[in-house]
Every structure is written in C-alpha cells, then in structure tokens.
Amino acid sequence: MKKARIAYAGAIHLACEYKGQLKLTDGRIVEEQDVVWLPPLEPRTVFALGLNYADHARELAFKAPEEPLAFLKGPNTFIGHRGQTRRPLDATYMHYECELAVVIGKTAKGVKKAEAFEYVCGYTIANDYAIRDYLENYYRPNLKVKNRDTCTPIGPWLVDAGDIPDPMNLSIKTYVNGKLTQQGNTSDMIFGIAELIEYFSSFMTLSPGDVILTGTPEGLADTAVGDEITTEIEGIGKLVSTIVSDDIFTKGYEPTDIKIDC
C-alpha cells in the first residue's frame, strides 16, 4: 500500500493511493492536486549518507569511503511533495540529490545484515538538496549545506516494505523541468540497506520512525529559481519540488514579527 499524509478541506488526513487518486481514511476520494502533501511521516532521527554511490564519489573527486559517511538532519528541513525549496540569493551551486529513504519499523539494536530487512517498514523518496557554496571542512557536510529549512522534500508516499521485493535494485531518476539529468540504480550503493542498518544499530538503538537516506548516484546539476525538480524511484513514486527565490521569504519579513507560538 502507498500511504500519504495530506491536508484537505481543513484537516490533516492519512490517505492511500486509490486508482490514481487519494482515498482518505474517512472514505472521501480526492484528486492529488487538490490536497497539500505533507511529509508521509514525522521522522524521528534521520540519517543521511554521503558518497554512498561509487560513481557519485568519483564525480566529487573522492575515493569511496571505507566506513559509511553519515550525518543527521533535523525536523526543520523536511517538506512534503509539491513543496517549495528556497534558493538563497548568494548560492551559485545548489543541486538536488534523489535518494531512497528507508523507514525503520521496530526497535533495532545490534542487528545483523541477514535480519536487517525485518526492521524496515517502508520506503519513500527524499531529495537531499545541497548548497555547495556553504561547504566547510568541519563536520563536513555541515548543517548550513544539509539542514536548511525547506531543503529536504520527502514523499509523496510511504510504501509498505512488502510491496518492494528488491529495494536493492530500483532505478533512480531526476528530471529538471522534465529533462532527465540524473540516472542510477540502488544496486550501486557502496553500503547497502542491510549493511547500513547493521552499521548504525551496532553502536546505537534505532527506533520506529527513524529514516535512513541512502545517498545519491552521479548526475548532479545546478538548479535555478522556478525549476521543477522531479525525483523518481521505481515502484516508490515521483517526488516534485519547486525552487523558489529568496524574495518570497523576505518580502513581508520583519525580525520583530510576532511568531506563531501558542
């Protein structure tokens, strides 16, 4: 089953895909363009992998890592399908990264590779945007590159693990305004899903709702304001986001504005 979290007609709903439309838990069937898509889950701890495809590591002139290169993301960075991702004015190179996102379904500690898939409840897609202008060599990639507000679209669906018989053989594609720019296959991961679960759970406890973004293959390109970026993974879906300019965030912005906090 493909599940979504959406806002529709004044409330937040869980929904599932139904003949190209969305079926809400209360029975209503609605068109996908009539809803606001939210991240398909509220992620707990989110791991992201750097340089986890050999071709991409080469592309960035790095040798493949001997141990997974992982960093964490905060909740501020996630947005749903068809959301807006902000491109700062001073950015000269902001690229997408289409990634298979693995969702943990039960508590995992000291899990061995052979049993690792028992701990996966589903899959979704993440677009792990990076702005290379802000890279610094301390805890690289630093949060200013990888944990910006709006810079990690995720969704549209959380697809049940049972519906994806071989997650280690899925084609990955990114389109910029409809033109194919990135292409790869999850079979080319350096550290596969099972190895990553074994690795993380060897030194910390994973919990339901934790998510592992498994890295991206080669084919990065700069994005411009107005671009529509579609990240697609076979059997999981197509995640769309639009690059928007700083202007729409700064127009009405006053630092002394009262924030919504009650």
The smaller minimum CB distance to other proteins, of residues 77 and 241, is found at 77
Contact call for residue 112 and other proteins (CB under 8 A): no
The smaller minimum CB distance to other proteins, of residues 19 and 259, is found at 259
The smaller minimum CB distance to other proteins, of residues 29 and 204, is found at 204
User: Distance from first CA to last CA of the chain, Å, rounded?
Assistant: 36
Q: What does residue 25 show for φ and ψ, rounded to 5 degrees?
A: -65, -20
Contact call for residue 74 and other proteins (CB under 8 A): yes
Contact call for residue 71 and other proteins (CB under 8 A): yes
Binders of other proteins among residues 164 to 203 (CB under 8 A) are 203
**Smallest separation (angstroms) from other proteins to the CB of 111:** 14
Choice from 2, 3, 5, 73 touching other proteins (CB under 8 A): 73
Beta strands in 108-249 (DSSP E): 120-127, 130-131, 152-160, 171-176, 179-185, 211-213, 228-233, 237-245
The set of residues, in sequence order, having a beta carbon less than 8 Å from that of 262 and lying 6+ positions away, is none
The smaller minimum CB distance to other proteins, of residues 208 and 235, is found at 208
Query: How many other CB atoms sit within 10 Å of the CB of residue 187?
Result: 12
Contact call for residue 70 and other proteins (CB under 8 A): yes
What gap in Å lies between CA 186 and CA 168, rounded to an integer?
5
Contact call for residue 20 and other proteins (CB under 8 A): no
Binders of other proteins among residues 200 to 229 (CB under 8 A) are 203-207
Choice from 106, 140, 163, 166 touching other proteins (CB under 8 A): 140
Q: How far from the centroid of its chain's Cα atoms is residue 169's Cα?
A: 18
For residue 195, give the DSSP letter.
H
